[in-house]
């Protein structure tokens, strides 16, 4: 399935059956952690938690990635498509609200097969596609009818920043076009009686230190392009990780003033549907312990 891989906007065409792609992935599914996660947005985690499956490697090479151990260093365990389907069903038995596919882009073809297999054996809970936003429309179209909730990032408003911090020069147009396709597939957010999202798109944006203008520009684009068709989740949990120490301007946490400025801008744009994360003292607690549990 991965002999001429063009799943993401890098469009590299690498034969992943023989070589490792830019993303770090081969043709084998690699998973670092299967867990019940309680730190997602309230409408995803709820009381029962989200059934996360953290995939290893990533097609976006963010220098500050908080999951650097698995995204850049490739920590994880190779599993079969059959095993992945079993994991989905095991998560459902644990009583989670949903199956949460974290950084799944490199393995879309395998995930499709695993989802079809699991659904034929009784998988019924919503499927969440949790990604960096660096997606290809053609790849998202493959998932039509299989994904219930899309949870993309919208990291940058300019490709200058995406090139500097993530190594790609076509992030903005890729995010906008792929999110548009996501909305086309699942429509406006829908919730069950417990307040858990069952359909829809939630766009995440993490504030980077010394980059408040970027955040404002991203929010303006979200308002202009997607209006009230999505929820917006503002993340304040940034802390220096990975290679962030090589970039002095982002080698610190964000400040209260930076967060306040974004909060005020949300009001100015009249963006009212979504979430704003509070500043904490130990943002590192949001990073899971990638120990191959339940893989």
Would you say residue 220 lies in a domain? Answer: yes
Q: What is the C-alpha separation between 274 and 21, in angstroms, rounded?
A: 35
Q: What is the C-alpha separation between 230 and 223, in angstroms, rounded?
A: 9
Query: What does DSSP assign to residue 47?
Result: T
Would you say residue 75 lies in a domain? Answer: yes
Would you say residue 295 lies in a domain? Answer: no
**The Cα angle at residue 270 between residues 187 and 218, in degrees rounded to 5:** 70
Structure tokens at 160: 């200058």
Q: pLDDT tens, position by position, for the chain (295 residues)? A: 799 999 999 999 999 999 998 999 999 999 999 999 999 999 999 999 999 999 999 999 999 999 999 999 999 999 999 999 999 999 999 999 999 999 999 999 999 999 999 999 999 999 999 999 999 999 999 999 999 999 999 999 999 999 999 999 999 999 999 999 999 999 999 999 999 999 999 999 999 999 999 999 999 999 999 988 999 999 999 999 999 999 999 999 999 999 999 999 999 999 999 999 999 877 887 789 999 999 9
3-state secondary structure of 149: strand
Q: What is the C-alpha separation between 253 and 200, in angstroms, rounded?
A: 31
The pTM of the full predicted model, rounded to 2 decimals, is 0.97
Q: Which residue has the tokens 């076009």?
A: 177
Q: Which residue has the tokens 């503002």?
A: 234
Task: Report how many domains make up the chain.
Answer: 1
Would you say residue 291 lies in a domain? Answer: no
Domain span at residue 273? 29-286
H or E element: which one contains 102?
A: strand 99-102
CB 44, CB 142: distance < 8 Å = no
CATH number at residue 241: 3.20.20.70
């Amino acid at each position: 399935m991965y002999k001429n891989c063009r799943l993401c906007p890098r469009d590299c065409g690498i034969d992943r059956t023989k070589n490792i792609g830019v993303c770090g992935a081969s043709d084998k599914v690699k998973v670092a952690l299967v867990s019940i996660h309680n730190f997602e947005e309230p409408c995803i985690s709820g009381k029962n938690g989200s059934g996360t499956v953290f995939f290893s490697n990533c097609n976006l090479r963010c220098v500050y990635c908080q999951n650097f151990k698995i995204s850049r260093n490739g920590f994880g365990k190779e599993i079969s498509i059959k095993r992945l389907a079993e994991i989905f069903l095991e998560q459902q038995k644990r009583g989670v609200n949903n199956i949460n596919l974290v950084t799944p882009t490199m393995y879309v073809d395998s995930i499709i097969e695993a989802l079809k297999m699991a659904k034929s054996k009784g998988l019924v809970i919503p499927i969440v596609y949790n990604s960096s936003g660096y997606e290809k429309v053609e790849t998202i179209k493959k998932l039509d009818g299989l994904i219930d909730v899309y949870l993309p990032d919208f990291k940058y408003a300019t490709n200058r920043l995406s090139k500097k911090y993530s190594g790609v020069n076509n992030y903005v147009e890729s995010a906008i076009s792929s999110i548009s396709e996501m909305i086309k597939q699942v429509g406006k957010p829908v919730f069950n009686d417990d307040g858990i999202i069952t359909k829809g798109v939630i766009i995440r944006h993490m504030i980077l230190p010394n980059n408040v203008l970027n955040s404002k520009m991203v929010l303006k684009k979200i308002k202009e392009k997607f209006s009230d068709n999505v929820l917006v989740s503002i993340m304040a949990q940034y802390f220096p990780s990975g290679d962030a120490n090589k970039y002095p301007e982002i080698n610190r946490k964000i400040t209260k003033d930076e967060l306040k400025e974004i909060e005020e801008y949300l009001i100015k744009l009249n963006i009212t549907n979504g979430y704003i994360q509070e500043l904490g003292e130990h943002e590192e607690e949001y990073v899971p312990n990638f120990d191959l549990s339940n893989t």
